Structure 1
């Protein structure tokens, strides 16, 4: 059992909380208010950022002390939205939210994952007709291994996960968000994920 704090109580955070609690972890969900987030992060070994990406950097940078020596799992994408509310462009072109978080939180081990899919796939990857891929980006190998084990509790087989390397590789997976609005416009909100097939 691991103590996990999930920052963000929307569809993503709620779905992850339910699945991880079902797997036997001690899970706390905090809304976006500073006090609730600080209290949740302070006592957790793993913190999951499920807040809207456009405001994540400011919110989490304010939790530098609470996040010291923890693993921060970042599942968000930082984008600007188009008129229809869907992602239109990257907020940090030439970089990524994960990289900015690691810079702002040098004593926190940031791992980027689960950001290349619609949220239902995060906790039910086997529901897709084809095998999806969960990517891992981060500078700390031990932290990535811990997150990989956490993914198995969400139904991800080890062979379905791909370690891309350092935190700078997160800019590639975050850029994948630009596929999403086009797929949604043509196919609706049917769950999908990016997959590497060989």
Structure 2
């Protein structure tokens, strides 16, 4: 059994897989083959959803049996893109992708995190001039503790991690994606993250 299966091999999924492997975890990146993906999910302890958010719900709902009893770490944002390809609105206003996943996968422990930053910060949080914040949303305290441990493996300090509460709090974290196009237009694609100053 592998420690982690990452769904999505792009910049986000690939970066997370590389960093977690470097931290000593056994990581599998699922292929696009439905059978191979199902096998990779079935044999994992934790599954990371790094697929494009607009198609995540359909893709993961098809893996309901394989995801039963697993921790599903959702790092995606489900958005409606504008003409420039940047997020213009939320796909699930009044809800969130994480809530939709939890509803569709009632026997899976969904935890939302790492979606409020440029992808490079997920695996190099200390690269910013000031500490970023990683938020956790999810119903199961033990699942969130496991995910907190994975964040530490990625270089996140405990004081940079904020537990927002239940899965319904993911809608606040996902809403932060609406900052992204404006930040990019004003500052370019330089690494950034949402940070709570105390």
The whole-number CA distance in structure 1 between the counterparts of 2:171 and 2:114 is 13
Number of the residue aligned with 1:112: 112
Per-residue deviation, 1:86: 0.6
Q: Which runs of no fewer than 5 residues in structure 2 stay unpaired?
A: none
Alignment check: 8 A CA contact 1:34 1:59 kept: no
Cα deviations by residue, 1:35-59 (Å, 9 ceiling, x for unpaired): 2321210100000000000000000
Q: How many residues align?
A: 198
Alignment map for 1:164-183 (pairs within 5 Å): 164-183=164-183
**Hey, what's the Cα distance between the residues in 1 that align with 2:51 and 2:68?**
19
1:55 corresponds to which residue? Answer: 55
Q: Given that residues 74 and 98 in structure 2 are in contact (C-alpha distance below 8 angstroms), is that contact kept between their aligned partners in structure 1? A: yes
Judge conservation of contact 1:115–1:174 (CA < 8 Å) in 2. Answer: yes
User: Which residue is equivalent to 2:65?
Assistant: 65
Partner of 1:161: 161
* 1:1-198 to 2 correspondences below 5 Å: 3-198=3-198
Over 6 Å off, 4+ runs: none
> 1: distance between equivalents of 2:37 and 2:158?
31
Distance 2:123 2:150 in 1: 11
Distance 1:32 1:169, change over 3 A: farther
Quick one: structure 1 residues 163 and 72, their matched pair in 2 at CA, closer, same or farther if it must change by over 3 Å? same
How far the C-alpha of 1:156 sits from its partner, in A, is 0.2
Note the residue ranges of structure 1 that are not aligned, 5 or more in a row: none
Q: CA deviation at 1:31?
A: 3.2
Alpha-carbon contact 2:50-2:74 (below 8 Å) kept: yes
Instruction: Give 1:2 deviation, angstroms.
Output: 6.3
Q: d(CA) in 2 for partners of 1:90 and 1:165?
A: 21
Contact 1:42 1:66 in 2 (8 A): yes
SS, match of residue 66 in structure 1: helix
TM-score scaled to structure 1, two decimals?
0.98
3-state SS of 1:101 partner? helix
Cα deviations across residues 22-76 of structure 1 (Å, max 9, x unaligned)?
A: 0010000013442232121010000000000000000000000100000000000
Please report the TM-score for the alignment, with normalisation by the length of structure 2.
0.98
